[in-house]
């Protein structure tokens, strides 16, 4: 405080502030904090079930089912639904029907339907099929650990994030691809990335392979991140750990956020219905604890 | 400091500049809180052999229980809830309470508390060799009525007898409070009610109060509000959290409890013990998952995770059920 000029020092005295701006005491009391933590008032959920989820499921799902799932999700209030992926069907047969899906879905006016495009060919095909938003791997994988390399330095993650941001990606989703992260590593990684990319351009994509997704998301929220990726019913197992879960369930994320008074605009009941539908079609139980608790397992 | 900066900038500077400053100091403040000092050590109270097995459908033979407890003792856990001295009429799974107490290998430095719902149970427990006991109170009147057919205050009065006898015998008593974040009958539970019950148990002489989210409905918001109310009446180092994972919220709730200074966490190996109020739903949080998070945070627990997972694998094989622990599932090589 020694270098602060006297006039500023005057402003910074709490007693003086209260005297000059009597409305402050009221404003301070009304401020919405949960014990000193400021949580975002609104969190945007990016639903990745139809793409990331279905891509990582053993069963290949017919086009009609994919379209119905996306249409059900469109009616829940979710603002962003990742619809499909324009990768070569040689590599990802589950997404071979990308054009039919994009053309078949009923586009809700206030919902965005980004698609993955790994290369120029994919990008052109996507635009030709009607895509109005692409995810140009504004995704950073292995942000908290790698199945081959193990520990990943936070500075490496921030370098990649910075490059993507400078290239023009409007949002960078930081993915804990194998779900090994914990609140400690999440905090360190975000601290590093937030030095290079503005917080409001960041999203977290947590996997629940070790059950850590919700505490990791909570940590990200405490640090000011307000965009969370998740998948309905926790679709999409982990390709690196047989039989394990992968994506965190949208239902469980919503339950936590709404319980904390954070708005999402999403109707949890309708998401539960969409989850029921796709689990029936896939003939598998849901990964969502909330869905299990509400008695909606097979 | 950061907060004051924000106030000055919002009122004195132009709106555009104000926005930037708000974002900066907000993130800095949030970042500082998120990285705020957590406890260096956390004590895990393992409730699998009692709370877990009591709520499993399959009744487990005495030797299996003893073997499980011995494996848990070897994993580094310092507190293992061994059994319950309730009448076998009500809880048949715990009918072998005396044999279990006498059969386990008591590791030095490890505590083996047992549940004692009344004086008779307490006396039987001490006779069987118990050196620590636990009593239960509920934060919800309806829950208390439905479970033990009396009001909360009446239940606390009954415990007076146990407290006096335990004090004379030099037996420490742990107090549990159920339904701290919600009740299956009453719905919302007032934090002040939880604080009232916790305070009563503490002033009666319980050395530690375990706050239980019995139906797992709590979220970080309700957890913090409840802990704020309780920590005004009971010192935080005498508090523990007992979170259920029925809605997947357990680890997030435990994290905020740690951020508020709690350093004792109840959990159950393999997440044993489903939820009796939601068929097919999970109940206790899995010890493996809690330990994974704590170790990832650099917090010491004294627990060897791989030995713990061995114990979990053993009991799941015997019960012929899949583990509820995500960590165990991820590292399983099936």
What ranges in A87-242 are assigned the alpha helix state H? 98-104, 120-128, 154-167, 183-193, 213-222
Q: Is B215 helix (H, G, I), strand (E, B) or coil?
A: coil
pLDDT class for B80, splitting at 50, 70, 90?
Answer: very high
DSSP letters of B242-305? EEB-TTS-HHHHHHHHHHTT--EEEEBGGG----TTSTT---BPBHHHHHHHHHHTT-B----H
pLDDT score at A98: 94
pLDDT score at A33: 41
Least confident of B12-16, B174-178, B276-280, B323-327: B12-16
Would you say B71 and B104 are in contact if contact means Cβ atoms under 8 Å apart? no
Name B130's Cβ contacts closer than 8 Å, sequence gap at least 6. Answer: B82, B85, B101, B112, B113, B114, B116, B171
* Nearest CA among B296, B328, B326 for reference residue B312: B328
pLDDT one-digit tens code per residue, A251-270: 999 999 999 999 999 999 99
Most confidently modeled range among A211-225, A233-247, B12-26, B148-162: A211-225
Strand-pair partners of A230: A47
* Nearest CA among B108, B112, B92 for reference residue B48: B112
Would you say B94 and B127 are in contact if contact means Cβ atoms under 8 Å apart? no
pLDDT one-digit tens code per residue, A120-179: 888 899 888 888 877 655 788 888 988 888 888 999 999 999 998 998 888 999 999 889
A183 to B296: CB separation less than 8 angstroms, yes or no = yes
Q: What share of chain B is helix, strand, coil (3-state, %, to 5)?
A: 50, 15, 35
Distance CA B141, CA B128 (A): 33
Would you say A290 and B247 are in contact if contact means Cβ atoms under 8 Å apart? yes
Which residues does chain A have within 8 Å of residue B34's beta carbon, measured at their own beta carbons? 37, 183, 187, 219, 222-223
Would you say B287 and A175 are in contact if contact means Cβ atoms under 8 Å apart? no
Distance CA B173, CA B135 (A): 7
Q: Is A115 helix (H, G, I), strand (E, B) or coil?
A: strand
Query: Count of CB contacts below 8 A, A vs B?
Result: 172
Q: Using CA coordinates, name the residue in chain B closest to A13.
A: B4
Which residues does chain B have within 8 Å of residue A243's beta carbon, measured at their own beta carbons? 329, 332, 334
What ranges in chain A are assigned the alpha helix state H? 6-12, 14-20, 23-30, 54-55, 63-74, 98-104, 120-128, 154-167, 183-193, 213-222, 250-259, 268-282, 289-293
Q: Does B22 have pLDDT greater than 50?
A: no
Residue B88 sits at φ, ψ, to 5 deg, of: -60, -15
Q: CB B303: neighbour CB atoms within 10 A?
A: 22
Q: Does B313 have pLDDT greater than 80?
A: yes
Distance CA B249, CA B275 (A): 14
* Nearest CA among B206, B213, B277 for reference residue B248: B213
Q: Does A36 have pLDDT greater than 90?
A: no
Q: CB A89: neighbour CB atoms within 10 A?
A: 13
pLDDT class for B34, splitting at 50, 70, 90?
Answer: low
Distance CA B23, CA A163 (A): 22
Q: Does B29 have pLDDT greater than 80?
A: no
Would you say A140 and A171 are in contact if contact means Cβ atoms under 8 Å apart? no
pLDDT score at B20: 34
Would you say A182 and B292 are in contact if contact means Cβ atoms under 8 Å apart? yes
Q: Does B251 have pLDDT greater than 80?
A: yes
More confident residue, B51 or B11: B51
Question: Which percentage of chain B shows pLDDT scores above 90?
Answer: 73
State the smallest CA–CA distance between residue A255 and chain B in angstroms.
8
Q: Is A200 helix (H, G, I), strand (E, B) or coil?
A: helix
pLDDT one-digit tens code per residue, A203-243: 999 999 999 999 999 999 999 999 999 999 999 877 777 67
B243 is catalytic: no
* Nearest CA among B199, B86, B54, B84 for reference residue B139: B199
Which residues does chain B have within 8 Å of residue A182's beta carbon, measured at their own beta carbons? 292-293, 295-297
Q: Which of B34, B184, B305, B322 to mutate to test the interface with A (most CBs of A within 10 A)?
A: B34
Q: Is A34 helix (H, G, I), strand (E, B) or coil?
A: strand
Least confident of A275-289, B145-159, B165-179: B145-159
Per-chain mean pLDDT for chain B: 88
Would you say B305 and B294 are in contact if contact means Cβ atoms under 8 Å apart? no
pLDDT score at B9: 32
Q: Which of A12, A181, A199 sits opposite B8 (nearest CB)?
A: A12
Least confident of A106-115, B22-31, B225-234, B269-278: B22-31
Average pLDDT over residues B130-142: 93
Average pLDDT over residues B63-76: 98
Would you say A165 and A196 are in contact if contact means Cβ atoms under 8 Å apart? yes
Distance CA B324, CA B309 (A): 12
Average pLDDT over residues B19-31: 37
Average pLDDT over residues B22-48: 66
pLDDT class for A23, splitting at 50, 70, 90?
Answer: low
Distance CA A112, CA A44 (A): 12
pLDDT score at A19: 64
Q: CB B296: neighbour CB atoms within 10 A?
A: 20
Distance CA A233, CA A230 (A): 9
Distance CA A129, CA A95 (A): 14
Give, as one character, the DSSP assignment of residue B39.
P
B296 to A208: CB separation less than 8 angstroms, yes or no = no
Which residues does chain B have within 8 Å of residue A194's beta carbon, measured at their own beta carbons? 27, 31
Distance CA A214, CA A223 (A): 14
A293 to B29: CB separation less than 8 angstroms, yes or no = no
């Amino acid at each position: 405080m020694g270098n602060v000029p006297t006039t500023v020092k005057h402003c910074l005295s709490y007693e003086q502030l209260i005297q000059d701006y009597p409305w402050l005491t009221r404003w301070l009391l009304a401020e919405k904090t949960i014990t000193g933590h400021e949580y975002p008032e609104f969190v945007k959920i990016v639903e990745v079930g139809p793409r990331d989820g279905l891509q990582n499921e053993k069963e290949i799902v017919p086009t009609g089912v994919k379209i119905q799932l996306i249409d059900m999700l469109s009616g829940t209030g979710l603002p962003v639904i990742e619809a499909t992926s324009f990768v070569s069907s040689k590599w990802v047969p589950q997404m071979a029907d990308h054009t039919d899906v994009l053309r078949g879905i009923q586009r809700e006016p206030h919902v965005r339907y980004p698609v993955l495009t790994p290369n120029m060919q994919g990008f052109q095909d996507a635009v030709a099929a009607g895509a109005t938003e692409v995810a140009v791997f504004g995704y950073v994988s292995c942000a908290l650990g790698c199945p081959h390399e193990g520990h990943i330095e936070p500075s490496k993650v921030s370098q990649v994030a910075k490059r993507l941001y400078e290239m023009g990606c409007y949002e960078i989703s930081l993915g804990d691809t194998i779900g090994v992260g914990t609140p400690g590593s999440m905090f360190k990684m975000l601290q590093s990335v937030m030095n290079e990319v503005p917080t409001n351009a960041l999203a977290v994509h947590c996997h629940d392979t070790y059950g850590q997704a919700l505490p990791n998301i909570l940590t990200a929220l405490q640090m000011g991140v307000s965009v969370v990726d998740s998948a309905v019913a926790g679709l999409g197992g982990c390709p690196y750990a047989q039989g394990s879960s992968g994506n965190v369930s949208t239902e469980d994320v919503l339950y936590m956020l709404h319980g904390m008074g954070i708005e999402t605009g999403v109707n949890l009941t309708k998401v539960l219905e969409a989850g029921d539908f796709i689990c029936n079609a896939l003939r598998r139980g849901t990964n969502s604890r909330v869905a299990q608790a509400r008695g909606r397992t097979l | 400091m950061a907060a004051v900066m924000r106030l000055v900038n919002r009122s004195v500077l132009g709106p555009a500049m104000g926005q930037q400053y708000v974002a900066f100091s907000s993130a800095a403040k949030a970042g500082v809180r998120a990285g705020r000092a957590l406890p260096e050590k956390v004590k895990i109270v393992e409730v699998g052999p009692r709370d877990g097995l009591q709520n499993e459908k399959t009744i487990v033979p005495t030797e299996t229980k003893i073997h499980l407890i011995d494996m848990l003792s070897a994993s580094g856990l310092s507190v293992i809830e061994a059994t319950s001295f309730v009448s076998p009429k009500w809880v048949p799974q715990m009918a072998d309470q005396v044999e279990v107490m006498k059969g386990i290998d008591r590791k030095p430095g490890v505590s083996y508390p047992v549940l004692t719902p009344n004086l008779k149970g307490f006396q039987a427990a001490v006779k069987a060799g118990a050196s620590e006991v636990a009593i239960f109170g509920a934060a919800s009147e309806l829950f208390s009525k439905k479970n033990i057919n009396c009001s909360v205050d009446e239940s606390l009065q009954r415990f007076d007898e146990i407290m006096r006898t335990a004090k004379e015998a030099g037996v420490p008593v742990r107090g549990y409070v159920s339904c701290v974040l919600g009740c299956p009958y009453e719905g919302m539970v007032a934090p002040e009610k939880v604080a009232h019950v916790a305070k009563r148990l503490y002033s009666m002489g319980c050395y530690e109060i375990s706050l239980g989210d019995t139906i797992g409905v709590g979220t970080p918001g309700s957890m913090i509000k409840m802990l704020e109310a309780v920590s005004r009446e009971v010192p935080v180092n005498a508090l523990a959290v007992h979170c259920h994972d029925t809605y997947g919220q357990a680890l997030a709730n435990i994290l905020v409890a740690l951020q508020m200074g709690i350093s004792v966490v109840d959990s159950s190996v393999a997440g044993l013990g489903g939820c009796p109020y939601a068929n097919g739903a999970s109940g206790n949080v899995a010890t493996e998952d809690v330990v994974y998070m704590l170790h990832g945070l650099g917090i010491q627990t004294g627990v060897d995770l791989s030995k713990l997972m061995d114990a979990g694998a053993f009991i799941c094989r015997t019960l012929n059920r899949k583990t509820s622990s995500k960590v165990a599932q991820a590292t399983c090589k099936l």
